Amino acid sequence: MRRYPIPLGRWLLVLTVLALAVALAGIYHLERGLRARAVEEFARVDARQRSLMVFETLYAAMRAGWGKDDIAPIIERLNRVAPGVEVRVLRGEPVIRQFGEIPGERAVREADPVLQAALRDGREFLRTERGTVRYVYPVRVRDECLRCHTEARLGDVNGVIDVRMPVGEVRAPVTVVARSVAVSGVVLLLVVFALLNLELRLGVVRPLRRLVEAMAAVEARRDYGRRVDERGRVRELVVLARQFNHLLEMVERHTRELEEYAVRDTLTGLYNRRKFEEFLAFEVQRARRADTEFCLVMFDLDNFKHINDTFGHPVGDLVLREVGRLVQEGLRTTDLAVRLGGDEFAVILPETEPEAGVAVAAKLHRRLTEAEIALPTGTTRVTVSMGVVSYPRNGDSPQALHGAMDVAMYEAKRAGKNRLVHLGPEEQARVMEVFAQADCLRRALDEDRVEVVFQPIVAAADGTVVAYEALARVALRGAEAKAGQFIYVAEQVGLAEAVDLRVVERVCGLVQAGGLGDAPVFVNLSRGTFGDPARMAEVTSRIRAAGVDPARVVFEITEREALPHLGRLAPQVQALREEGFRFALDDFGSGFSSFMYLKYLPVDFVKIEGTFVRAMPRDPRDRALVEHMHGLARRFGLRTIAEFVEDAEIAAAVRELGIDYAQGYHYGRPAPVGRVRERG
């Protein structure tokens, strides 16, 4: 159990009591010392007064002509007046020489050093011993004394008056006075300490307690809005409270900013993906309880990379900010706009039926595509690919709705971009099929059912095998699925990278085991891997880690992979070629921009689109196109590969045109490595 030090209030009380105890002890010892000194001084004064009284009485008697026989009774009467007080008068040398010795005095003088000193030096003597105060008063010769004491000189000691009295005679009045003063001092001291303790509690303890309570509240409840009363008597504590309040204000402000950063996109001011996931889960639960519908709109900017590459990222950020503003201003107050990341945005439309959601999305689409965005170099417009899905029609969970949105976005892109796609009832079956296939694909990856088959690539002149193309196959629902049948699903659900890495691992293992001889291997990767430098770096690092010579690996690139990332892909391809990897441009001639890639992509092989090759024996135009593509590739110093060579007639046409290599069912179907090597 954790033990805390004593509280300040109790500590001050203990300190006050200790200080009071020390003060009382000091007063006690001081009172005793002062009382003893006062007794001594009072005894001196009293004894001196008695001595003077005795002297004056005796002097008056002697002036009246009294003798020693008359003086003795006077002394006796003085001693009787004050019981316990003893007064003696002893002669000094001048009086003894003139009037003689009184019997018995010599013995008294000789036995008492004090009397001897007083008679010799003329000094007063005061001593307290055994409860008695003794005062010895020397009587010196004055002018009037010389008339009778002719043997004496002025200033001589004629005698001494020895007064002895009980201490009680002096102590009692002094004690009363001393104790009165002491009691008064103690009372005053108690009052002063009580007032001091009260002032410390009010001026120090209470402000500090308020400060500690505020700190505890901040720690326990994160109550950064709490403030401490800044009023007080002590300047340092007032400054401390003021600084603490200022610190709380700063923490509160920074906390609000951090909360904003945690849920807001700093560039556009819209909510971020994290908050989107929270809102989506909440909206699903709310719609499920209330049995209502809502819609999701997702869109991204078409060819946004072109803006970044052309004008720079600051201009790209400006475009994103303006898009965020247009989205926010174009929605209803109940709608929630989100920037998911990059150029992707989403909108949640609560309590909105599918038809109304499509109308809102169409309005937003027009607003975004018709707006002119001001740039430092002029103005521009953007196009967006947008998908709309609804709950519960397209999914009854956040995960299902995410998948439906991805499908809708893919459909918008596939339809030619700058499209609005709504997944209606007729598309729902396809969405469910995508989810079912995705589940099967995950299980296949977990159960290691992703296999690789190989198709030979031969020299067109003599049919000698010169290379192999690696093709992925997955057992889905009891049947073998080709890459074209599952790669779309893999890309939609984020499994394409796992499939690519699994294929690369299989190929590397076979190459290292010598299963493919010395022939190079053509490898197909997904669009996402070619478009992501980090994923591409992972693939090549796996190959190098397996100890495979990069020169034996040829990556195939299609127009679909090249077009969106051409600006970044070209230097990436060149860098990998410098490491030894080679590249082939697949399906050459299938797109309108195919010939442009020969100029900008540093590839090693050109694989001529198989639909043209297959039709050469029947259509002279296809033959002319293939011949032209082969000649153009040779002009660029590239090797050509004819695809879809399915019979001897097509093979003969390929040889006649001088194409370097051929691939197709005529030379071998895709098969496991053992079977394909047997046929080879």
Q: Which residues are catalytic?
A: 343
Classified as helix, coil or strand, 336 is strand
Q: Which amino acid is at 205?
A: V
Classified as helix, coil or strand, 658 is coil
Q: How far apart are CA 427 and CA 211, in angstroms?
A: 64
> Are the C-beta atoms of residues 340 and 296 closer than 8 Å to each other?
no
Q: Report the alpha-carbon angle 561-562-565, nearest 5.
A: 95
Is the bond into 398 cis (omega within 30 degrees of 0)? no
Dihedral sign, CA of 297, 303, 306, 311? negative
What are phi and psi for residue 300, nearest 5 degrees? Answer: -140, 165
CA dihedral 501, 506, 509, 514 (to 10 degrees): -140
83: tokens are 């019981």
Question: Could you tell me if residue 470 is left (phi over 0), alpha (psi between -120 and 50 degrees) or otherwise beta?
Answer: beta
Element (H, E) at 264: none
b/e 206-217 (16+ beta carbons within 10 angstroms → b)? bbbebbeebeee
Q: How far apart are CA 234 and CA 239, in angstroms?
A: 9
Q: How far apart are CA 376 and CA 141, in angstroms?
A: 125
Of 570, 503, 582, the closest CA to residue 533 belongs to 570
Q: How far apart are CA 648 and CA 645, in angstroms?
A: 8
Which residue is it, tokens 């969970």? 397
DSSP string, 416-483: TSS-EEE--HHHHHHHHHHHHHHHHHHHHHHTT-EEEEEEEEEETTT--EEEEEEEEEEEETTEEEEH
Report residue 151 CA to chain centroid gap: 108
Q: Which residues contact 103 (CB under 8 A, 6 or more apart)?
A: none
What are phi and psi for residue 473, nearest 5 degrees? Answer: -135, 145
630: tokens are 């082969």
> Are the C-beta atoms of residues 583 and 555 closer than 8 Å to each other?
yes
Give the E-state strand segments of 489-610 in sequence order. 521-524, 553-557, 582-588, 605-608
CB atoms within 10 A of CB 521: 20
Q: How far apart are CA 638 and CA 587, in angstroms?
A: 15
Classified as helix, coil or strand, 223 is coil
331: which DSSP letter? S
Q: How far apart are CA 170 and CA 42, in angstroms?
A: 7
113: tokens are 């050093």
> Are the C-beta atoms of residues 458 and 465 closer than 8 Å to each other?
yes
CA dihedral 249, 254, 260, 266 (to 10 degrees): 130
506: tokens are 């299989």
Q: How far apart are CA 580 and CA 598, in angstroms?
A: 20
> Are the C-beta atoms of residues 496 and 441 closer than 8 Å to each other?
no
